[in-house]
């Protein structure tokens, strides 16, 4: 840790554009290099108190970012020999693993921070580095979760159905048991973290929790809010099946319930990012395709979750290599024009941070079956895999194709 900061040094380790969703994290292009850039840190607020003087500033370039996909609540249903078993085993994490990981991180002094703590957007649209002030021995990290839409393909496979508000207005998961009965509980990351922070409020810096990276093609948070469910046009087979099985479906009511849950989450420290509407590979997609996709996100997701200035790339597929984005990059120029100032890829390094006067950019580390099984040493700064591994997982974990 350091008391002051006159220069922000950004170190680039191995930059791997990996995967998100049911796909490979191992594929992509690797870059190596190191560079420095000088930025002017924000001045400390005039209202800083004596308490602030007891805190120390944590180097932004040493802040890690970890992420998960939807958590497996019932491994017996996820790992049942079905066609998706290998995919789940590779890129998902079980509830028991997640709970052990969070407990270990807390005991080691980790504290959740927001990307908005790490950089601030000025009135003129430029970006300035933030300041993280923590007691000695505390370590900030960013937490995110991808694809919290509870896609149709996950039905009956041991995952929650949706996020709901219970009788106390708290966010919980709805879960369909194997016998068809419905339960409410802490079956995924949001209610698990909420419950943990209730017990350990110092785990959330300024009350900030995680970022949910959201697509829109199956709706959000388990609610079928995409316009296709209203119009009945361009339906995928699983969407058509859902509507056939739910003739009472009310689109407007569905959207309203999703908004209520999203609003409750935002009021309780959660944030939302675009994951592209259709889980698009931003590296491979043309600018025109990304523009059309983002228009759908703004039209059908933002009205439910709220507008965001963060994009977490699906598949970890970035719109550039390790070098700084410039406005000559037409994809960056477009996203910047639409108000995106925070960009995240997938990276195998301990930390990967880039801040310019135009954006904040950070690599994320996947904590899933594939990484824990094949690259446990990459996670040793966080936890010992043997202490969190769920023995309900089939082994070996299938290699990525």
Q: Is the pLDDT of residue 41 over 50?
A: no
CB 139 within 8 Å of CB 365: no
Average confidence (pLDDT) over 319-341:
97
The enclosing domain of 123 has a CATH number of 3.20.20.370
pLDDT band at 88 (very low <50, low <70, confident <90, very high): very high
Domain membership flag for residue 393 = no
Give the pLDDT confidence of 47-66 residue by residue, as tens digits.
Answer: 444 454 589 999 999 999 99
Output the CA–CA distances (angstroms, integers) from residue 291 to 80, 211, 273, in the order listed: 39, 23, 16
Report the Cα–Cα distance between both ends of the chain, in Å, rounded. 41
Name the DSSP class of 81: S
Residue 53 is predicted with a pLDDT of 56
Give the pLDDT confidence of 272-296 residue by residue, as tens digits.
Answer: 999 999 999 999 999 999 999 999 9
CB 64 within 8 Å of CB 363: no
Q: Is the pLDDT of residue 28 over 70?
A: no
Q: Is the pTM of this model over 0.85?
A: yes
The more confidently predicted of residues 42 and 195 is: 195
Domain membership flag for residue 286 = yes
Closest by Cα among 222, 214, 226 to 299: 226
Name the DSSP class of 358: S
CB 392 within 8 Å of CB 94: yes
- Residue 273: which domain range? 11-46+64-388
Name the DSSP class of 201: G
- Other CB atoms within 10 A of residue 106 CB: 17
Domain membership flag for residue 137 = yes
CA 22/CA 69 separation, integer angstroms: 10
Residue 226 is predicted with a pLDDT of 98
pLDDT band at 338 (very low <50, low <70, confident <90, very high): very high
In the chain, how many domains are there?
1
Domain membership flag for residue 2 = no
| Widest pairwise Cα distance in the chain | 63
Domain membership flag for residue 259 = yes
Domain membership flag for residue 1 = no
Residue 401 is predicted with a pLDDT of 80
Residue 136 is predicted with a pLDDT of 95
Domain membership flag for residue 150 = yes
CB 197 within 8 Å of CB 105: no
Domain membership flag for residue 76 = yes
Give the pLDDT confidence of 201-254 residue by residue, as tens digits.
Answer: 999 999 999 999 999 999 999 999 999 999 999 999 999 999 999 999 999 999
């Amino acid at each position: 840790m350091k008391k002051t900061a006159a220069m922000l040094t950004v170190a680039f380790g191995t930059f791997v554009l990996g995967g998100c969703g049911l796909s490979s994290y191992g594929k992509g292009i690797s870059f190596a290099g190191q560079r420095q850039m000088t930025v002017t840190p924000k001045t400390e607020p005039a209202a800083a108190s004596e308490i602030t003087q007891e805190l120390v500033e944590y180097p932004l370039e040493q802040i890690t970012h970890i992420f998960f996909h939807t958590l497996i609540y019932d491994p017996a249903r996820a790992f049942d020999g079905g066609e998706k078993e290998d995919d789940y085993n590779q890129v998902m994490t079980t509830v028991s693993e997640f709970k052990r990981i969070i407990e270990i991180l807390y005991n080691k002094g980790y504290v959740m921070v927001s990307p908005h703590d790490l950089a601030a957007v000025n009135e003129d649209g430029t970006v300035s580095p933030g300041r993280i002030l923590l007691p000695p021995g505390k370590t900030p990290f960013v937490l995110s979760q991808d694809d919290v839409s509870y896609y149709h393909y996950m039905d009956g496979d041991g995952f929650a159905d949706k996020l709901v508000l219970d009788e106390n207005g708290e966010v919980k998961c709805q879960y369909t048991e194997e016998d068809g009965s419905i339960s409410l509980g802490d079956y995924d990351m949001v209610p698990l973290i909420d419950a943990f922070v209730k017990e350990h409020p110092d785990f959330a810096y300024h009350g900030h929790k995680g970022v949910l990276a959201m697509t829109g093609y199956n709706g959000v948070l388990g609610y079928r809010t995409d316009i296709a469910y209203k119009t009945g046009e361009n339906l995928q087979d699983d969407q058509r099946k859902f509507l056939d099985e739910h003739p009472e479906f009310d689109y407007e009511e569905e959207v309203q319930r999703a908004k209520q849950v999203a609003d409750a989450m935002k009021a309780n420290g959660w944030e939302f990012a675009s994951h592209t509407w259709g889980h698009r590979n931003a590296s491979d997609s043309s600018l025109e395709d990304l523009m059309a996709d983002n228009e759908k996100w703004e039209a059908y997701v933002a009205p439910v979750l709220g507008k965001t200035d963060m994009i977490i790339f699906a598949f970890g597929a970035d719109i550039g290599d390790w070098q700084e984005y410039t406005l000559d990059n037409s994809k960056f120029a477009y996203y910047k024009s639409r108000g995106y100032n925070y960009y995240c890829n997938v990276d195998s390094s301990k930390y990967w941070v880039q801040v310019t006067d135009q954006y904040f950019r950070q690599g994320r580390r996947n904590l899933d079956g594939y990484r824990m099984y094949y690259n446990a040493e990459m996670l040793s700064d966080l936890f010992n895999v043997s202490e969190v591994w769920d023995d309900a997982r089939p082994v070996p974990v299938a290699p990525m194709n």
